[in-house]
Amino acid sequence: MTQSAKYVFLDVVGYTDNRNVEAQSDIVTALNMIVLESMADFQIVDESRLFIPTGDGLCIALLNTEGEYSYDIHMLLALKILEFVQFHNSNEPDEMRNFQVRIGINANEDNLITDINARKNLAGSGISLASRIMDKADGGQILVGDSVFERLQQRERYMGQFREFGVTDKHGRWFRLHQYVGDSAGLNTDVPKAFHQPTPKEVKAQKLSLQMAYYLAHAIKNRAFISQTYKSNMIAGNVLQVLLYILSEDESELHKARHSDSKVPIVRAWKSGEATFEEQFKHYDSCDSDLISILHDLTGETLSSKRYDQNLFQTTGMWLLFASDAGKTKLQNDYPEIWNSWGLS
C-alpha cells in the first residue's frame, strides 16, 4: 500500500563517544520523551504517525497529513525537537547526558509494509533519502530534500531561509539538499562540516577555471534580471542556472579559440551573440520542464565539484545565481581582462 509520508529522520551525534552504557540509555529515554512531547504539542494522532527506531535515533513518519495538519508540520516538529533538546541540556548537570541530534527531512510516496517483527514499516526512496540527508548534518542542524525545499521556499515564513548544497553519497549518487538557517532555539546554522570551506589562503592560491570565471561574469552582468525573475518565480532558478552554465561553456571555448590557432567552436546557446540574456531565458523557460530539471541537476553536479562554490556565491535558496563579494573580488583579481572588458562592477 502506497502512503504519502513526511519524514523527520534524526539521531544522536556522537552517541557512544565518552559515554557509559547507563548514560546512553538515559539519552535514548530522554530523546523518546522529547519526541512524544513534541508530537503532543501539535496534537498528532496515532493514526498519522509511525515511529521507526534506529538504535541511537529514530525516523518519524507522518502519514497522509495533507489537509489534516499544517503544510510544514515536519519542519515545525523538527524545530520543536531541537528546542526541547536545548531545554534538556540546560537542565541536565551531567555533561555525559547532554546530547545533540541532527535531523534530515524528506517527503515522498513510499510503500507501507509489514516487517519481520510484524510491525508497520515503510520502504522506498523517500525514507532512504531522508537517512542520507541526515548523514550530512551536524548536531543541531536541519537538512531537507528537494521535495521539501520546493514546497517550503515559496512560503513567506521560509523564503530565503535555506542554504543549498550538492552532495555525492557513499554509492556515488549525486543529489541536492538544503540547510534550514532560520532563527530558532537550538538550531545550529553553521555550514555542515561535510561541506569543506577552503581557507582564504587556499582560495587566493588557486586560480578560477575559465568556465567558472565566465559563469560569474554572466551572473554579475545580468544580476538585476536574475534577481527580479527569481523573486517572482523561484522555480525559474533552474532555467537561470542552466542558461548561465551553457553561456559560460560557450564563452570559455570562444576564449580559448581567440588565444590559439584552433577553429572557432560551434556554440551551444540558443541564438548566441544575437539574442539578449532575457530573450534566451524566455526561450529556455518555454522548453520542457522535465528536460530543464535534468539539465539543472547535471549542471549542479558539475559545478558542485568546483571547490570555491560556497565562497563565490551568496547563500540563497539557489546557490549558483548570485555572486558574492568574494566571488567578484576573485574574478577581478584572476581575470582582470574579463572584468574590465565586460564593464563589471
pLDDT score for 299: 84
Across 1-5, 25-29, 39-43, least confident range: 1-5
Segment holding 167, helix H or strand E = strand 162-168
What would the pLDDT profile of 163-184 be if each residue is shown by its tens digit?
988 887 666 667 889 999 999 9
Across 183-187, 249-253, 293-297, least confident range: 293-297
Q: Could you tell me the sign of the dihedral formed by the alpha carbons of 16, 21, 24, 28, in that order? A: positive
Task: Look up residue 182 and give its three cell numbers.
Answer: 532560520
pLDDT score for 332: 94
Map grid coordinates 535531523 to a residue.
103
Q: Where in the chain is the domain with CATH 3.30.70.1230?
A: 2-180
pLDDT score for 203: 53
pTM, rounded to two decimals? 0.66
Task: Report the pLDDT averaged over residues 209-231.
Answer: 93
**Per-residue b or e along 229-244, where b marks 16 or more CB atoms closer than 10 Å to that residue's CB:** bbeeebebbbbbbbbb
3-state secondary structure of 181: coil
3-state secondary structure of 53: strand
pLDDT score for 310: 62
pLDDT score for 30: 97
What would the pLDDT profile of 60-113 be if each residue is shown by its tens digit?
999 988 888 999 999 999 999 999 999 999 999 999 999 999 999 999 999 989
What would the pLDDT profile of 192-217 be if each residue is shown by its tens digit?
988 866 555 655 567 888 999 999 99
* Number of Cβ atoms within 10 Å of the Cβ of 174: 15
* Domain 2-180: assigned CATH number: 3.30.70.1230
Nearest to 181 by CA among 149, 227, 147, 151: 149
Segment holding 334, helix H or strand E = helix 325-334
Task: Report the pLDDT averaged over residues 303-312.
Answer: 62
What would the pLDDT profile of 271-294 be if each residue is shown by its tens digit?
988 999 999 999 999 999 889 888
Question: Cβ(156)–Cβ(143) under 8 Å?
Answer: no
Question: Cβ(182)–Cβ(158) under 8 Å?
Answer: yes
pLDDT score for 307: 47
Per-residue pLDDT band for 151 (boundaries 50, 70, 90) equals: very high
